[in-house]
Structure 1
Amino acid sequence: MSITRRDALRYAAAASALAGLNAAAAALAPAASAAAPTLIDFAMRQIPAQDIRAAGHSGVINYVSTSRPGSNFGAKPITLPYAKQLTAAGLVIVSNYQYGKPGGTAPSDFTRGFAGGVADARTGWALHTAAGGGKSAPIFFSVDDDIDRQAWNDLALPWFRGINSVIGVQRTGIYAGIRPCQWATADGVIGRSGTPGRVWAWQTRSWSNGQIYPGAVLYQRIIDTASNPGPIVGGIRVDVNDVLAQDCGQWNLHP
């Protein structure tokens, strides 16, 4: 099968964008292969780029939101100097928004309705662009709870519609368990990856019953908890995410 010059350049850019250990090979490998590159996510503090590379990861999923009242997470939000450090080291960046948390000092973001979605999208996009985020890159907005279909319809869906009204569907992604990822796709509130068949769904292992949504671009396979600590990178414990698509929303593919 022949490919156009434009396609060849796109594939080359995708392989380059997944910089890190075996990334070029991973870009050509099946999504679930052991060679798939990984991105880490963390909140406590900024991890030096050289430590991330030394641990064999290809980049980060970093926050474009601020810390909740009473907390002071050093990696929230991502800053322009840190983003430049990561990029200079050949690491990729994906944006995530999460301010509130179940049982936290601020309510879960998805409970704040349409107006809350508007406000969160404005904040997230301002922090994303201030740090140098790609103008067409998505932000993954978090549903960090095991919600049912009624909670999706009554709470989360209006919140996502509010987000869409500010940044558009194509720049909107979701972080959640498998069911909200499926509902978000069916309801048309998240955008599509440049990888065929994939959407802006970052699925967590939590609440997913051992299943992986075929449309997801990222899968949070290792979740750092007190009872099951994540690996240590740069002196802190992190979550680890498998990259399931060449285009997982990384900034440098979406200038």
Structure 2
Amino acid sequence: MKVLIINMATATDRMAFMAAQMDHFGLDWARIEAITPDTLTPPADDPVWHRWQRPLRVTEMALCASHMAAWRAVIAADVPHLILEDDATLAADLPAFLAGVAGLTDVDHISLETRGRKKVLGRVLHSAAPMLRLWQDRTGSAAYIAYPKGAKLMLDHALRVGGPSDAIISSTYGMRSYQAVPALAVQLDICAQYGVPQALETRSLIDAVEKPRLPVSGMAALGFRTRRIWGQIVMGWRQLRYRGTRLHVAPARDWPKITL
């Protein structure tokens, strides 16, 4: 399975880390130039970026646009790809997992990561690989497999209502989503939390821009609050409907030590 790595031109240390991981695993990969606030299309004042449940940082808009570029690449190639942000640390079992799921036709999206928040999962492992049906995710877009149909669904959703990349993924409810168990990826900034070897110190590029304040009154404020409430209702309804288990996905035990 081919890998797409989202990376900013200035983040050369992160790219070196990702390239070292790709070499370690022997994976076929390509770099996707990350969208930045300066190259953002549609621009930050376009209405699409103001239909989410809260105001977005321009860095969140740029990251979502970067994932949209990756989804377009998956659609054009018409084969599943592993999509990675450039701070994803990968477990030793990743190649075997990719080999097991590459040819599946009953899956649209597989999350590989864990990031401290519980997910609503099914109870029965898929026959092809150690993964559970993912009914509701909460956070994380650093490591996932997108199949062509899933990429199209996520892209269409983002074009209707631009939001944080992880929120767009987790609210594209038409997808047949799964979660790798145990998780096969964590981001560099939480490696220590999980006891995973950390090859590189990082800081959040999203948080480099101050979080916009929610309007206190007016139609914009009402729109944000209404969408937020509805989003919470839908998440709760999905947990009840599918009788999923709220579970913190533990990381895999074996992680290669990548040196730069």
TM-score range normalised by the length of the shorter chain = under 0.3
Rg (Cα) greater in structure: 2
Which structure's relative contact order is higher, taking Cα pairs within 8 Å and 6+ residues apart?
A: 2
TM-score by length of 2: 0.27
